[in-house]
A and B are shown apart, each in its own frame.
Chain A
Amino acid sequence: GESVGLHLPTLSVQEGDNSIINCAYSNSASDYFIWYKQESGKGPQFIIDIRSNMDKRQGQRVTVLLNKTVKHLSLQIAATQPGDSAVYFCAENIGAGGTSYGKLTFGQGTILTVHP
């Protein structure tokens, strides 16, 4: 089956730097993508999502970029803080026709470590 994957399993940055977490997806029919942050002992926390009719979406300190040509998704975190340290997952919608965003395929995750 098709799946979502991440290029880098770990990323270490200094506090205040910008972080970029990358994700490759293989299902060209996917039309919805979402990023989650998961801290130790907790469930995934919603960060930001994007639909396939968009290339870029911004939130508070975060930006998601979608490149459908090369099937690539990235999460940019501005002015990274120690509290951003966590595992970050990208996920894609596997629901038929994008009508159900509850059926997600997750990547393996990237561990982000922010050093003070």
Chain B
Amino acid sequence: GVTQSPTHLIKTRGQQVTLRCSSQSGHNTVSWYQQALGQGPQFIFQYYREEENGRGNFPPRFSGLQFPNDSSELNVNALELDDSALYLCASSRDSNSPLHFGNGTRLTVT
């Protein structure tokens, strides 16, 4: 399945954070979502074969990387209090297959 690390993280406003994800083997599409408490996940961006392939309504301080070894990263610079949320990584076999999610990283910004 999809695994994410760390499971929980506490950062201070203004800091930078890197969240990591390991996709299911052979999945070439990775998407990242932000889920605020009590809400549905919101699409941040998607990577396909190591290239960004679509972005939601998130500022440039949210960036990502996808690597050939089924791993990917979400980086957030200049953290704000409102960035506190559950960050979900999801992967799919291809662009026409359903997304499968990891259990997320709970980020708290103080």
Contacts and interface: CB of A to CB of B under 8 A. Distances in A.
Contacts of B101: 36, 43-46
Given A100-B95, A101-B98, A43 B88 contact: yes
A99 B94 CA distance: 10
Nearest to A91: B40
B31 to A, nearest CB: 4
A94 B41 CA distance: 14
B95 A102 contact: yes
B99 interface: yes
Contact of A34 (B48, B54, B98): B98
A105 B41 CA distance: 8
A54 to B, nearest CB: 14
B72 interface: no
Interface residues of B, number: 27
Interface stretch (A11-19, A70-78, A106-114): A106-114
Interface residues of A, number: 24
A43 B102 contact: yes
Given A44-B101, A49-B98, A102 B92 contact: yes
A83 interface: no
Interface string A69-100: 00000000000000000000101001100011
A103 interface: yes
Contacts of A104: 31, 41, 43, 99
Contacts of A45: 101
Contacts of A46: 98-101
Contacts of B99: 34, 46, 101-102, 104
B40 to A, nearest CB: 3
B97 interface: yes
Interface of A: 34, 36, 41-46, 49, 89, 91, 94-95, 99-109
